[in-house]
Amino acid sequence: MKLLLLLANGFEEIEALGTLDLLRRGGLEVTTCTLNQTPLTLGAHNIAVEAELCLTELDSTQFDGVILPGGLGGSQALAATHGVLELIKEYMTQEKYVAAICAAPALVLTAAGILEGRKVTCYPAPEFIEILGDAYLSAKAHVDGKLITAAGPGCFTDFARAILECIQPGVSADVFKAALIDA
């Protein structure tokens, strides 16, 4: 199982890197991909991350799903990128995994137009809840078929656990026990 983690300037570091770490510990192959023309991407708290590839180099057929971290600036950039929105639509049509956390469900998934008849969670800011309307569900993490969403930075472990449980049932308990001790 190969997943793609998209990074845009302003991404929320703990949502991206914490999730990445836990998924890789769980045995998933996760590749980081930036929207930038060079591999360097700057997070919301000025942490620079070197992605493994750039969006312009992406062969979407090589992946089984996409992960969209939040962060207001990062989510706005993802939502404004035609290639990202097309990738999300393509993956939903092909019944591949789409996972989004924090601001990304409200900003990116709505921009992609994939939420009709679905329930998702997001960062519980009133403006995001309003954007999602009837699709909004108050939860730390939520799975709706192959669409996985989570509420925000404090829920990155719930997010990673939901992804792992969907893709590799039974693996997450051991991963979280080893990685976080208190699982």
How many domains does the chain fold into?
1
Instruction: Give catalytic status of residue 166 as yes or no.
Output: no
Indicate if the pLDDT at residue 7 is higher than 80.
yes
Backbone angles phi, psi at 29, to 5 degrees: -90, 115
Residue 95 pLDDT? 97
> Which amino acid type is present at position 43?
G
Indicate if the pLDDT at residue 93 is higher than 50.
yes
The mean of the pLDDT values for the chain is: 94
Residue 135 pLDDT? 97
Q: How far is CA 160 from the centre of its chain?
A: 9
Residue 169 pLDDT? 80
Indicate if the pLDDT at residue 29 is higher than 50.
yes
CATH number at 84 reads: 3.40.50.880
When pLDDT is averaged across residues 139-159 and rounded to a whole number, the result is 97
> Which amino acid type is present at position 141?
A
Residue 175 pLDDT? 65
Residue 35 pLDDT? 97
Share of the chain above pLDDT 90, in %: 89
Share of the chain above pLDDT 70, in %: 93
Question: Domain span at residue 59?
Answer: 2-180
pLDDT band at 174 (very low <50, low <70, confident <90, very high): low
Indicate if the pLDDT at residue 170 is higher than 90.
no
Indicate if the pLDDT at residue 120 is higher than 50.
yes
Catalytic one among 33, 102, 122, 155?
102
pLDDT band at 114 (very low <50, low <70, confident <90, very high): very high
Residue 172 pLDDT? 60
pLDDT band at 168 (very low <50, low <70, confident <90, very high): confident
C-alpha Rg value of the chain to the nearest Å: 15
